[in-house]
Amino acid sequence: MLAKIEKLVPGGQGLATLEDGKKAFIWNALPGETVEFNITKNKRSYCEGVAYHILNASEHRIEPKDACYLATSPWQIMDYQYELTQKSELVRECFSQQHISVRPNDTKTDGKDFYYRNKMEYSLYWDNDDNKIYPAFHERGTHRKVPIKQSSIERPEIWAKATEIFDKLNAEHAEARTYQSLLMRCDQAGNTSGDLFINGQPHPQMPNLVDSLNGQEYSYSPNGFFQINLPVYEMVLKEIQQHITTNKVLDLYSGVGSIGLSVARDKDLTLVEINGAAFEEMQKNAVGTNAKCILAKSEDVIDYITPDCTVILDPPRAGCDQKLIDRLNEVKPKSVIYLSCNPITQARDIAMLVDNYEIKDLTPYNFFPRTPHIESLAILMLK
């Protein structure tokens, strides 16, 4: 199948319009390229696929670093500056689709585009030829596992420890079908923690790791929620801190409390989280502060939103609940700071706030280099 790529879409694929008018979303393809691709999913109005032959390569195309790039980091095919430019453009497009005309800042980065992830989960692949287990990822668009011998997006300490564990499994003549996956995580100092998940068994308890953010220490479980790219996350925290202008701060969807406790530790701070495990870690991280920790859905504690507070939002990919958006419009707190891992739902939510709020600043951050994932920080000030 032949296609001419028009642009990149927020999901990360290249978009093409086929001769019959059907839209095609194609991995391993860049704007301006003509490609031959295999279809991996075929629906009435669109299809998905992977390009296997590039007829005219983009000037921004480069050789991927890893053989497994399509499974882990499909944007290894473009130069890094082009990636940053595309991410800013995709955020702009997400807001434009909500009829919001705003020019995001350039995508911010610490300049490190490989060896940045502090967490990785590997599948296990059994090789029938040599009767050995290898780390694996799922091939994009399929349920098929692909064995890997090199991966360059996780911290080297993680890959080294994972290799050691796989060598031990093979020395013991273990079978891959016994295990679900291997989870590994490391702190900024390179200390690793993780374990094998055994099929049909509860997940094992793994030693916590400790890292410092904005001068504060946080303890977190390797299997829990904590940011994947801490140096870039710290850049975001420092930016958020500059926009805390009230004494009262409400941090919703707060996880282990790393945003609120980093930027408003000395304020009248309230932290809200629904996940029980994350809440327990938040309570530990809040020891020694006056922060109030609440175990609840963020939309169920909207009475804590007051006109004299700053509200921090860091919701899941689905975005904010409608009740929360309605409460913000009703009470009109002085400022809303919205960090999102999904600019599509971020733009949707902010579109419902723009009658009362001005977008003071909108900045993409490259938490996940060489992937299409974008973290977007919006600063909203009451008009």
Residues 323 and 238 in one domain: yes
pLDDT in tens, 305-340: 999 999 999 999 999 999 999 999 999 999 999 999
Percent of the chain with pLDDT over 90: 95
Q: Is residue 219 part of a domain?
A: no
Q: What span, in angstroms and rounded, lies between the C-alpha atoms of 164 and 382?
A: 54
| Mean local confidence (pLDDT), 13-41 | 97
Residues 241 and 292 in one domain: yes
Residues 183 and 205 in one domain: yes
pLDDT in tens, 257-310: 999 999 999 999 999 999 998 999 999 999 999 999 999 999 999 999 999 999
**Cβ atoms of residues 166 and 134 within 8 Å:** yes
| Mean local confidence (pLDDT), 17-23 | 95
Q: What span, in angstroms and rounded, lies between the C-alpha atoms of 128 and 176?
A: 11
Residues 340 and 202 in one domain: no
pLDDT value for 43: 94
pLDDT value for 111: 96
Q: Is residue 214 part of a domain?
A: no
What confidence category does residue 241 fall into, taking pLDDT thresholds of 50, 70 and 90? very high
pLDDT in tens, 44-63: 999 999 999 999 999 999 99
Look at residues 8, 179, 14 and name the one whose alpha carbon lies nearest to residue 90: 8
Residues 240 and 99 in one domain: yes
Which structure tokens are listed for 116? 């940045």
What confidence category does residue 139 fall into, taking pLDDT thresholds of 50, 70 and 90? confident
Residues 358 and 273 in one domain: yes
Coil, strand or helix: which one is 38? strand
Asked if residue 143 has pLDDT above 90, the reply is no
Q: Is residue 364 part of a domain?
A: yes
Asked if residue 213 has pLDDT above 80, the reply is yes
**Cβ atoms of residues 36 and 14 within 8 Å:** no
Which DSSP string do the residues of 189-215 spell out, in sequence order? T--EEEEEEETTSPPPP---EEEEETT
Q: Are strands 268-273 and 292-295 parallel, antiparallel or unpaired?
A: parallel
Structurally, how many domains does the chain consist of? 3
Q: ∠ at Cα 285 (231, 109), nearest 5°?
A: 10
pLDDT in tens, 114-132: 999 999 999 999 999 999 9
Residues 286 and 356 in one domain: yes
Q: Is residue 67 part of a domain?
A: no
**Cβ atoms of residues 114 and 65 within 8 Å:** yes
pLDDT value for 219: 87
Q: Is residue 68 part of a domain?
A: no
Q: Is residue 252 part of a domain?
A: yes
Look at residues 380, 370, 347, 361 and name the one whose alpha carbon lies nearest to residue 90: 347
Q: Is residue 72 part of a domain?
A: no
pLDDT value for 191: 97
| Mean local confidence (pLDDT), 145-171 | 95
Average pLDDT, the chain: 96
Domain edge (last residue) among 180, 209, 238:
209
Residues 50 and 148 in one domain: no
Residues 267 and 345 in one domain: yes
End-to-end CA distance of the chain: 51
Residues 332 and 264 in one domain: yes
Domain hosting 41: range is 2-61
| Mean local confidence (pLDDT), 36-42 | 95
Which structure tokens are listed for 67? 């053989």
What CATH number is given to the structural domain containing 328? 3.40.50.150
Which pTM value belongs to this model? 0.94
pLDDT value for 225: 82
Percent of the chain with pLDDT over 70: 100
**Cβ atoms of residues 116 and 365 within 8 Å:** no
Look at residues 129, 130, 166, 123 and name the one whose alpha carbon lies nearest to residue 145: 123
Residues 202 and 332 in one domain: no
What CATH number is given to the structural domain containing 40? 2.40.50.140
Which DSSP string do the residues of 214-281 spell out, in sequence order? TTEEEEE-TTS---S-HHHHHHHHHHHHHT--SSEEEEES-TTSTTHHHH-TTSEEEEEE--HHHHHH
pLDDT value for 210: 93
Residues 188 and 244 in one domain: no
Q: Is residue 76 part of a domain?
A: no
